[in-house]
Structure 1
Amino acid sequence: MGALDVAEIPEAATHAWLNASDDGTPQAARPPAQGRTEPAADKPAAYTWNKAPRLAGQVAECGAIARQLADGQPLVADVVARLGITVHTRVLARVVELARLLPLMEGWLRAITPREPFFSPGPLPDEGQGVGLSEAARGALGHWLRIERGRIASYQIVAPTSWNFSPRDAAGTPGALEQALVGAPVQPGETTPVAVQHIVRSFDPCMVCTVH
């Protein structure tokens, strides 16, 4: 697995209630560093406040199952090879991860020295930009910041649910959740199908974090 190239993470706002350009016309996906978060509630063909991030042009699912597969966890890898990525395998990956994390957390707690500084303050530059990437509980998290004349000029976030709940991109390719919902069974008389609820919740979504 090679190093991540942040230049390969663009976001499309084609189907989001957000302006993608100064005049509101569609345009190519932007890197988050050049992203915009300007509401356009009446935008045609839009159906979400979520943009569509992609990794090297591909839909990506993040979270516990992605972490366990990337780490080569044998049980999760075997079950996914046989069953694919499903509600069952997402939940299994989360349970396996919890079991693996507990002994690690005990070690981390023992390594803490309570009176030691927990961060290093620094002066804010007059001009600059930066990217902060982290693996949050729900998955991949990225922050893009630009400073101009000593003030924050742009701050864009790509949250884990931004990846998982991505709408269709400019090419019409649906996101991870949208693909997972295809073929979900709906029983007679169901107005809130149980299968749909199970699929959605298996992604452990946080829409508050996503609509930023």
Structure 2
Amino acid sequence: FAPRYEGDYRLPDEVDRQATAHYVQALDIRRKAHEMLAVFGGKMPHNCATVAGGVTEHPTVDKMTSFLWRLNEIREFIDGVYIPDVVAVAEAYPDYFGIGAGCGNLLAYGVFDLDSKEPDYLRRQRLLRSGTVSTDLLLGQVEAGKIAEYVKHSWYENPSTGRYPGEGRTAPQPGKDGAYSWIKAPRYDDTVCEVGPLARMVVNYVGGNTAVKELVDPVLSHFDAGPEALFSVLGRHAARALECKYVADSMADWVLQLKPGEPVYSEYTIPEEASGMGLVCGPRGALGHWIRIEDGKIANYQCVVPTTWNASPKDDKDRPGPIEQALIGTKVKDEENPFEIVRIVRSFDPCLACAVHVITPKGRELGRFRIS
């Protein structure tokens, strides 16, 4: 991420040197994680082995072993480096449990099917369940029909506003008055919602997931904090690290469930007329794809991706998006070096490919670009 702001370095020298060494180690661990997917998917990112009807790669004992030894090394890194480093940073920056709270409403579609017999994605039994959590920590059930996108402050024509994504329309309107983003403003049940690791972990924590509670409670206890502390910069980092452990530990069982020699693909014929959607959680949060097929061809395709939720601009009621709300009211020690703002934004892990917001209240021109 750029620009790089300087200052507010609090880690003791020894911890700082250790964290730097761990950063280099993390690059190697990341490479091994990519190799794990390449074993079954050919490459990472954008694996090429998943097709309509199944996969193209047959599991073998050798491939399972190759996957598993890498996974175990990654699990050791998570337990011995990643989580302890997050705790060490939190001990040095406890005030970051108090900034970047955001909108307080959370949305998760759920991820990692444990039973695929249920056709409704949102009702399937999953490792991490679907759900919503309100600002008062009340759990709700997700209904896809309550999702809509608004474009009052986006560079799209207004007739496309307030639509369910399955009926969505994307008609660019550069230079539109009052607009400042190429991101639409998705809302769930007319509510601004944050998505991502924090949303998934809190939804499952409030939903009574024992394994999640056993991971989260010791960390909260260590800092003498309640669940409300999770709604913060450090809360997002803690949720991401603890979820990483939960998923990695679960994968050790899943890989052993693969059955060499069993079919991996079922014949699939594209229908002449159809519509459908896929709802799941990617690492950054709730991900939805909607498609309509006419005459055997794609007639409309709409995506609402995680950073669309988190980095959304204001909606038709002028309510700011989650990242915008997390920034509002933040005290900045040095306006020329606003590292507080940068740290809040980075805690959401925004996708750099989704959109770029360049804005300044003083009107100072930061750069001018024309794309045609």
TM-score w.r.t. length of structure 2: 0.51
Note the 1:71-150 alignment, pairs <5 A. 71-72=204-205, 73-74=212-213, 76=216, 79=225, 81-83=227-229, 85-113=231-259, 116-150=262-296
Which residue in the other structure is 1:168 paired with?
Answer: 314
Question: For the residues of structure 1 that align with 2:183 and 2:308, how far apart are their CA atoms?
Answer: 6
Question: For the residues of structure 1 that align with 2:156 and 2:228, how far apart are their CA atoms?
Answer: 40
Cα deviations by residue, 1:49-100 (Å, 9 ceiling, x for unpaired): 1111111111111111111111113364754534351101000111111121
Secondary structure, counterpart of 1:54 in structure 2: strand
Which residue in the other structure is 1:194 paired with?
Answer: 339
Question: For the residues of structure 2 that align with 1:80 and 1:121, how far apart are their CA atoms?
Answer: 51
Q: Is the 8 A contact 1:130 1:144 kept in 2?
A: yes
1:10 corresponds to which of 148, 158, 162: 148
Deviates more, 1:77-86 or 1:146-155: 77-86
Which residue in the other structure is 1:179 paired with?
Answer: 325
Find out whether 1:54 has 2:187 as its counterpart. Answer: yes
Which residue in the other structure is 1:68 paired with?
Answer: 201
Q: Is the 8 A contact 1:158 1:210 kept in 2?
A: no
How many equivalent pairs are there? 205
Deviation of 1:122 (Å): 1.4
Secondary structure, counterpart of 2:202 in structure 1: helix
RMSD of aligned alpha carbons: 2.2
Question: For the residues of structure 2 that align with 1:135 and 1:205, how far apart are their CA atoms?
Answer: 15
Secondary structure, counterpart of 2:276 in structure 1: strand
Determine what percentage of the aligned residue pairs are the same residue: 41
2:163 corresponds to which of 27, 30, 35: 30
Q: Is the 8 A contact 1:20 1:36 kept in 2?
A: no
Letter in 2 for 1:62: V
Specify whether residues 116 and 197 from structure 1 end up closer, same or farther in structure 2 by C-alpha distance, changes over 3 A only. Answer: farther
Specify whether residues 103 and 188 from structure 1 end up closer, same or farther in structure 2 by C-alpha distance, changes over 3 A only. Answer: closer
Specify whether residues 116 and 208 from structure 1 end up closer, same or farther in structure 2 by C-alpha distance, changes over 3 A only. Answer: farther
Deviates more, 1:39-48 or 1:115-124: 115-124
Secondary structure, counterpart of 2:281 in structure 1: strand
Letter in 2 for 1:156: Q
Contiguous gaps of at least 5 residues in structure 2: 1-138, 206-211, 357-372
Which residue in the other structure is 1:24 paired with?
Answer: none
Cα deviations by residue, 1:130-181 (Å, 9 ceiling, x for unpaired): 0111111111100010111111010000001111111111011111111000
Higher relative helix content: 2
Deviation of 1:119 (Å): 4.5
Contiguous gaps of at least 5 residues in structure 1: 22-26
Question: For the residues of structure 1 that align with 2:226 and 2:281, how far apart are their CA atoms?
Answer: 21
Specify whether residues 119 and 50 from structure 1 end up closer, same or farther in structure 2 by C-alpha distance, changes over 3 A only. Answer: farther
Deviates more, 1:34-43 or 1:163-172: 34-43
Specify whether residues 80 and 161 from structure 1 end up closer, same or farther in structure 2 by C-alpha distance, changes over 3 A only. Answer: farther
Specify whether residues 127 and 86 from structure 1 end up closer, same or farther in structure 2 by C-alpha distance, changes over 3 A only. Answer: same
Letter in 2 for 1:142: G
Q: Is the 8 A contact 1:163 1:176 kept in 2?
A: yes
Q: Is the 8 A contact 1:159 1:210 kept in 2?
A: no
1:203 corresponds to which of 308, 323, 348: 348
Specify whether residues 199 and 113 from structure 1 end up closer, same or farther in structure 2 by C-alpha distance, changes over 3 A only. Answer: same
Letter in 1 for 2:169: R
Letter in 2 for 1:66: A
